[in-house]
Structure 1
Amino acid sequence: MKAHISYQSLASAAAALLTAAAAAVAEASTMVAFTAKSVSSCPASYTQWAATPHAPFATGSHRIPSMRPAPECRTFSSSTIEQVIRNITEKIQSPEIRQLFINTMPNTLDTAIAWHHRADTNDSVGYPYTFVITGDINAQWTRDSTNQMMPIMPYVALDPGLRTLVAGLVNMQAEQIADYAFANAYKPPTRSGLVPGENSWAPRDRVVPGFNLTTVFEAKFEIDSLAAFLKLSTAYWRQTKGMGQVDMRLWSVAVRRVLGVVARLQKPTFGKGGELTDAVVEFSRAASSPTESSFGNGRGNPVRATGMVRSLFRPSDDSVIFPFFVPGNAMLAVELANLAEMLSALGSMAEECDVAQRLANEIRRGIMDHATVEHPQYGRVFAFEIDGYGGRLVMDDANVPSLLSLPYLGFVSRNNSVYVNTRRLVLSTENPWYFEGDALSGVGSPHTGFRRAWPMAVAVAGLTSDSRVEVAAALDMLVASTAGLGLMHESVDVADPTKYSRPWFAWCNGVVSELIMYAVDRFPGLI
């Protein structure tokens, strides 16, 4: 089952609704600085804007405010996306969900395109580049930036401006990974003229391989970051039927780096004679929280070979306990297979195509052979982390990739028996990071502590459900979770939505808009 399956029907509907004239107008998609000096009325910080509700308010008990900045203050504008918003909202009866969708679907375009170099015939660079911040942190996470583009991906073929925007992000990620493949987040390139965000920890971190502080914001090694680069690349290829505007020379270097890292980190910690292997990636940080550093003097706990790939950190940026992080490996297996399909279709990089398919098969086999375990209440389930020695961690985390998100990622179908059992466990108090309260219930994370559910996990529970009742319940909780601010937060106290973390979290806004689009497509009339 392919990820985002509802997108295909939504994209087809959008194509029918958008006239040729509208598509032509889309040529005028533009990027503007959010803090443009020429527009004195624009807020200096969207973080401040997001923390205050703005009129007009939707009717309903939660009074969802209007949280889009004025058109002249948006960081990127697309007439195509504006038309899509109108098309979708016409099908939504609930004023509150309608306004929530208007706020969340374009949030990355409105606020997070920090730099977009379009390139033209007089440009010596010759290719577009795009730097996408995660929201209230002035850095680009590979994982976040990929996922932030997913709500608009079905429409890039209809809009030359969007196509250039996404191609620019593919090029930016390729440049970053070609330079240093072990980071989770990067600073803007010097040529952008942006003032980079600063991570006060990074200069003191002990990292192997070492990195350049000018380009790397943080060097926590997370395998889903590599998978996210492949996901963006193959999604762009599928939607545009090619790799136009992508610097394929640079992109090829980045792909080879990814394949090399993946193959190396399949190796066990110890060789046959007990010596340490060359599967070396290390991260140590002198911090008060144990999740900020790695076991084994930075190398992570020992592993035996399983076909899976070790990671030092989870997508929460928290350290793993057992280095074979199962959801990340599942995502990697899917995206390596997608890469192999793409390279085969392009007729290029034949050797890398074979390697990608082999790695995808080995990782998938490793998960099925080693990471499915018996639970006394739920039967056969996927473990969250394993080590190949028999060590296993049974839980789930709110961040994606997660066990809950496996069908969303395209790893298994929703009716896969092991997934069905796993889902029941994850959405119960047998998962130590699942919390229930009067305000909302959902999966949380060690990253934000006890009794805090993540709206992202609530949205993923809806996106992986075929139940009209479950999807409606997820949307009701999400509407109630905004603390009257009309945007999604990172985490929310399950008893009191006014206690939340991060007022501006663009990735989560996008995922919630995906759920609303899914509900419109899958359950007409539900909302």
Structure 2
Amino acid sequence: MLHSFAFISIVLSVSSLATAESMAFFRSSGSGCPAHYTEWASVPHAPFSAGPLRIPSMRPPPECRTFTSPAVETAISRISAQITDPDIRQLFINIMPNTLDTAIAWHAPGTKDSADYPYTFVITGDINAQWTRDSTNQLLPLLPYAAADARLNALIAGLINMQAEQIASYPFANAYKPPARSGLVPGENSWAKGDSVHPPFDLRTVFEAKFEIDSLAAFFKLSTAFWRQQQQTSNDLLDMDLWRHAITTAVELLEKLQAPTFDADQRLTDATVRFLRTANSPTESSFGGGRGNPIRRTGMVRTLFRPSDDSVIFPFLVPANAMLAVELRALADMFDQTGDAAIASRSRNLADEITRGIYAFGTVEHPKYGKVFAYEVDGYGSHLLMDDANVPSLLSLPYLGFVNATDSIYQNTRHMILSLDNPWYFSNGTSGSLSGIGSPHTGFRRAWPMSVAIQALTSDDKQDIVNAVRLLAASTAGLGLMHESINIDSVDGKSFTRPWFAWCNGVVSELITHIVAQYPGLL
């Protein structure tokens, strides 16, 4: 996501908590570490890879990293040893630990003796705030290594506790400020001042109050994945009372947001959430006086914003609803095993209603491609045919677990959105240049490396997968890190947005890890 308030400096005030592990990288006074990773990420560092791209070494020095996991370091060595291409190997070494190296803003590991729970605050990169969606995606690829590393396990549990605390207090936000007890100086978001938002929010805790249903789905996803990793029905690292409260709060809210705009007598129903803002871009506010455009009941859940943080046109965002359906079912499965029958039933019923709504109202007969998934619909028959690079996206539906990659409707949709019939797909027609899905968030002719990675993660064509990784490696502007978007007309990706975007680094490292595991010797 590109924000007009990007590149905010991060200032650390050392926490008074004796058990807190705080951002060593940003404690630069007298340490020799740069004050901000953006400085480090904007300059290539030796040694360089031996390949034609000469990928630099972009990990900060060990003493400047925000968290270190021996299990992750072992995985980096093991996986990189199986990559013969020197450029891709160095790229992987740079990006796989990027969140741990640079984005763990605060971690209080907790102590069993005092019954304290761990808490973790994860920034998305160059913005001093925690996005629920981003933070989940940043740590989720590292979960497989947590079983061998108790500190990493506590780090991930701490993020779940932090997300639960935030959602329990205000479930409508997409990004939050660090808690006062962290000692961190919170980032400021000038856009969030003077908003006409319902329910009102506390500027001391909320960084951005855009309501995005995929944020709640991301909280569910990290929670259930962590539970499966533990192979038990409870975990002493999680504040289960707080967590259950957050889950119940979220499920109740999602149920309310299935309601139509008007009742049977054409009177306005309770909007539950409204967002109105004076801005110079229509993507920064909501239609209908903040309520969003009108909807009919479909079983799906309405949202006001996309995972790009841009406002929706039609409030039923199909890929976000698909992600919700998958994660609500995973939540129900977990609750089945923990004996919470009531919330299991509610979660499963909601997932079923969403799924039926997607197939009844979220599919469209396209004159060229046949039946496809629409990006957004309203239940009245209006629909938007496009895709956005941010996940959840239509391209990512198999990655999310909603359909198999061979599903006929998905394949029709994939052909549509990976072509110029998707207004946000960009290609300059030149071989070897990055092509892919972009976003209204970054404007015209900017393809997102994240979409290229998802395209490869949802493909079984070995040549296409290898080509995608090579294009990604060549798109870093010689800086050896993934960026948010690339101007497709620039040479070697030298015109890009966001030099420090930990989420995308994680997705591309996930792709490379997947290739090494599934197709040995391919790289």
TM-score tier (shorter): over 0.9
Structure 2 counterpart SS, 1:114? strand
Residues 33-432 of structure 1: matches in 2 within 5 Å? 33-37=24-28, 40-121=31-112, 123=114, 126-242=116-232, 243-244=234-235, 245-347=237-339, 349-432=340-423
SS at match of 2:135: helix
Question: How far apart, in 1, do the equivalents of 2:164 and 2:23 lie?
Answer: 24
| Code of the aligned partner of 1:310 | R
Q: Deviations over 1:360-389 (max 9, x none)?
A: 010011101111111111111000000000
Cα distance, 1:33 vs. partner?
A: 2.0
Q: CA deviation at 1:30?
A: 7.2
Amino acid at match of 1:189: P
Gaps of 5+ in 2: 1-19
**Is the alpha carbon distance of 1:117 and 1:30 closer, same or farther for their aligned partners in structure 2, counting shifts above 3 Å?**
closer
Quick one: distance in 2 between partners of 1:484 and 1:237? 40
Q: Is 1:455 aligned to residue 455 of structure 2? A: no
Partner of 2:520: 524
Distance in 2, matches of 1:64 and 1:151, equals 23
Deviation at 1:157?
1.4
- Which 4+ stretches in 1 moved above 6 angstroms? none
Shift of 1:183: 0.2
* Contact 2:273 2:291 (C-alpha < 8 Å) held by counterparts: yes
Give the match's secondary structure for 2:329: helix
How far is the alpha carbon of 1:35 from its aligned partner?
2.1
The alpha carbon displacement at 1:36 in A equals 3.0
Conservation of the 8 A alpha-carbon contact between 2:271 and 2:291: no
State the Cα distance separating 1:121 from its structure 2 match: 3.9
The question of whether the paired residues in 2 share the 8 Å contact of 1:30 and 1:161 is answered with no
1:280 is displaced (CA, Å) by 2.3
Give 1:61 shift.
2.2
Sort the Cα spacing of 1:31 and 1:468 in 2 relative to 1 into closer, same or farther, 3 A: farther
Q: Is the 8 A contact 1:452 1:494 kept in 2?
A: yes
CA contact (8 A) 1:308 1:363 kept: yes
Please give the alpha-carbon distance, in whole angstroms, between the structure 2 residues aligned to 1:426 and 1:73. Answer: 41
RMSD: 1.2
Distance of 1:37 and 1:383 partners within structure 2: 48
Report the equivalent of 1:446. Answer: 440
Matched AA of 2:158: G
Q: CA deviation at 1:415?
A: 0.3
Offset at 1:469? Answer: 1.1
**Counterpart-to-counterpart distance in 2, 1:48 and 1:109:** 17
Letter paired with 1:209: P
Deviations 1:298-328 (A, max 9, x none): 0000000000000000000000000000000
- 1-side partners of 2:28 and 2:78: how far apart? 33
CA contact (8 A) 2:21 2:107 kept: no
Task: State the alpha-carbon separation in 1 of the partners of residues 161 and 194 from structure 2.
Answer: 29
Q: Deviations over 1:263-311 (max 9, x none)?
A: 0000100000111112421101100100000000000000000000000
Aligned equivalents of 1:523, 1:436: Cα separation in 2 = 28
Q: Which amino acid is the alignment partner of residue 178 of structure 1?
A: A
- The answer on whether the counterparts of 2:303 and 2:312 sit within 8 Å (CA) in structure 1 is yes
Q: Distance in 1 between matches of 2:482 and 2:488?
A: 14
Q: For 1:266 and 1:389, locate their aligned partners in 2 and report how far apart those are by CA, in whole Å.
A: 14
Please state how far the C-alpha of 1:38 moved relative to its aligned partner. Answer: 7.1
Aligned to 1:481: 475
Confirm or deny: 8 A CA contact 1:472 1:526 kept in the other structure.
yes
Aligned residues: 497
Q: Which residue of 1 aligns with 2:15?
A: none
Matched residue SS, 1:168: helix
1:458-482: CA deviation from partner (whole Å, max 9, x where unpaired)? 0000000001011011101101110
Q: Is the 8 A contact 1:156 1:240 kept in 2?
A: no
Shift of 1:31: 6.3
Give, in whole Å, the separation in 1 of the partners of 2:134 and 2:227.
19
Secondary structure in 2 matching 1:204: coil
Q: Could you tell me which residue of structure 2 aligns to residue 20 of structure 1?
A: none
Q: Which amino acid aligns with 2:188?
A: E
Q: Given that residues 449 and 485 in structure 2 are in contact (C-alpha distance below 8 angstroms), is that contact kept between their aligned partners in structure 1?
A: yes
Shift of 1:241: 1.5
Whichever residue aligns with residue 204 of structure 1, its letter is: G
Contact 2:53–2:478 (CA under 8 A) maintained in structure 1: yes
C-alpha distance in structure 2 between counterparts of 1:280 and 1:323, whole Å: 14
Query: Counterpart in 1 of 2:504?
Result: 508
Aligned to 2:458: 464
Do 1:135 and 1:505's aligned partners in 2 also have CA atoms closer than 8 Å?
yes
Distance in 2 of aligned mates of 1:83 and 1:461 = 28
If the length of structure 1 is used for normalisation, what is the TM-score?
A: 0.93
Distance 1:279 1:195 in 2: 34
Q: Secondary structure at the match of 2:504?
A: helix
CA contact (8 A) 2:21 2:108 kept: no
2:11 matched residue in structure 1:
none
CA distance in 1, matches of 2:21, 2:310: 37
**Cα offset, 1:354, TM superposition:** 0.6
| Aligned-partner SS, 2:25 | coil
